[in-house]
């Protein structure tokens, strides 16, 4: 039985568009504020949601997401809040959790996957988990029928791309450039090259993240990728808005514009 995430990519492929995936850390700007913002994204046209598990020592997050995660941690966000956010938003869109390995290990691998699935989660993105250290994770996520989403970068060798994609399900997260998350004025040409290399080793959907913030960039990525991941651009709108209502309106508007950009025609 396929997950809502896998069904989504089948649908968007048939519609000749890329799936738009929106990211926010749980608990930012507040617990309810995060849920409201994620709903606004879906109302605007976001197809799937990536909920960040805020962590004190991120290796992949740029300054915008780090600041949001700091706010979230100060708000007392932990596993219970992440799962509560997932339970609420998975009613409206396929949802995954992005988390570093340490919180999963602390929670207990089977406990984490049990609770993730019972709260409607379709998968987990693990940016710092290497394929060499994945034996327990692969076995457990297979038992729990949960998508394992690994992150690959332009520097990943062809041999390694093959190994990683063999263990991946749901979609492959292609980092558009070396470095950390954040909005960019342009998307690295390395993103297209990486996707082309991935096409040679896997039939899985490929979603590109790190840097997409405008409809024009989304449209460019949609020409060659199956999914477009946007995080920092949404977070910045919430950080810069003078009222929660203004933030939600801007998030909804950006989601609508990005969604139009994801259409390939």
Q: Helix or strand or coil: residue 146?
A: coil
CB 125 within 8 A of CB 79: no
What would the two tokens of residue 210 be?
A: 């790190």
What would the two tokens of residue 63 be?
A: 């300054």
**Which residue out of 36, 47, 61, 88 is catalytically annotated?**
61
**Which residue out of 6, 36, 50, 115 is catalytically annotated?**
50
CA distance 150 to 79: 21
Burial of 56 (0-12, 13-18, 19+ CB in 10 A): exposed
Q: Helix or strand or coil: residue 151?
A: strand
CB 85 within 8 A of CB 26: yes
Q: Helix or strand or coil: residue 11?
A: helix
Give the list of residues 6+ apart from residue 181 with CB closer than 8 angstroms, or none.
Answer: 60, 61, 62, 64, 65, 209, 210, 211, 231, 232
CA distance 44 to 255: 5
Annotated active-site residue 61? The verdict is yes
Give the list of residues 6+ apart from residue 203 with CB closer than 8 angstroms, or none.
Answer: none
CA distance 191 to 225: 9
Annotated active-site residue 50? The verdict is yes
Host H or E run for residue 174: strand 172-175
Helices 244-261 and 232-240, packing angle to 10 deg: 150
Catalytic residue IDs:
50, 61
């Amino acid at each position: 039985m396929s997950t809502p995430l896998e069904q989504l990519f089948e649908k968007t492929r048939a519609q000749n568009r890329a799936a738009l995936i929106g990211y926010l850390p749980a608990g930012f700007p507040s617990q309810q504020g995060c849920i409201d913002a994620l709903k606004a994204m879906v109302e605007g046209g976001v197809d799937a949601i990536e909920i960040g598990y805020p962590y004190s020592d991120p290796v992949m997050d740029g300054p915008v997401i780090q600041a949001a995660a700091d706010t979230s941690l100060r708000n007392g966000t932990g596993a219970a809040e992440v799962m509560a956010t997932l339970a609420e938003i998975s009613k409206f869109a396929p949802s995954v959790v992005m988390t570093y390995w340490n919180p999963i290990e602390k929670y207990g691998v089977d406990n984490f996957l049990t609770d993730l699935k019972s709260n409607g989660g379709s998968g987990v993105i693990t940016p710092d988990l290497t394929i060499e250290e994945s034996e327990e994770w692969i076995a457990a996520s297979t038992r729990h029928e949960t998508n394992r989403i690994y992150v690959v970068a332009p520097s990943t060798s062809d041999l390694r791309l093959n190994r990683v994609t063999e263990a991946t399900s749901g979609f492959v997260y292609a980092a558009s450039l070396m470095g950390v998350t954040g909005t960019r004025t342009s998307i690295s040409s390395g993103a297209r090259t990486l996707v082309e290399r991935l096409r040679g080793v896997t039939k899985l959907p490929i979603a590109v993240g790190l840097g997409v913030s405008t409809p024009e960039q989304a449209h460019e990525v949609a020409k060659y990728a199956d999914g477009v991941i946007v995080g920092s651009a949404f977070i910045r709108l919430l950080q810069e808005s003078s009222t929660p209502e203004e933030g939600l309106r801007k998030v909804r508007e950006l989601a609508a514009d990005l969604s139009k950009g994801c259409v390939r025609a």
